[in-house]
Amino acid sequence: MTDRKVKAPKHLAAATRRWWEQVHADYKLEPHHVRLLTLAGEAFDRGVQAREALKKNGLTYIDRLSSPRSRPEVAIERDSRISFARLVREVGLDVQDPDDARPPRGKV
């Protein structure tokens, strides 16, 4: 085993790369956890992109029938937040004790 620092994927934003590398240094991750960690970083970055677009363009637009509509970025930001939270949970970064783990919700 080597002690060299693992580099985050270059396509992640700088702050997300630092987070990725810190998590990788702090936790012993299996290869599938590294992939989930990368997906979490991508989801976080996508949410930031959507939030920046919403800040610039607003939450709504007026459609061709003069009705207000939510911008697509609203759904992108929401979905990115949900994805990030789920991926972090799957990697196990938010679990202090196995009793705290919440199983996926099954069909009712």
Residue 85 resides in a domain: yes
> How much is the pLDDT for 102?
56
Q: Which residues contact 44 (CB under 8 A, 6 or more apart)?
A: 16, 19, 80, 84
Each residue of 31-71: pLDDT tens digit? 999 999 999 999 999 999 999 999 999 999 999 999 999 99
Residue 108 resides in a domain: no
Percent of the chain at pLDDT > 70 equals 82
Residue 24 resides in a domain: yes
Say which residue the tokens 């970055």 belong to: 45
> How much is the pLDDT for 101?
53
Residue 6 resides in a domain: no
- Considering only CA atoms, which of 19, 79, 9 is closest in space to residue 47? 79
> How much is the pLDDT for 84?
96
Residue 101 resides in a domain: no
Residue 56 resides in a domain: yes
Residue 8 resides in a domain: no
Split at pLDDT 50, 70, 90, the class of 105 is low
pTM reported for the whole predicted model: 0.80
Range of the domain at 71: 14-95
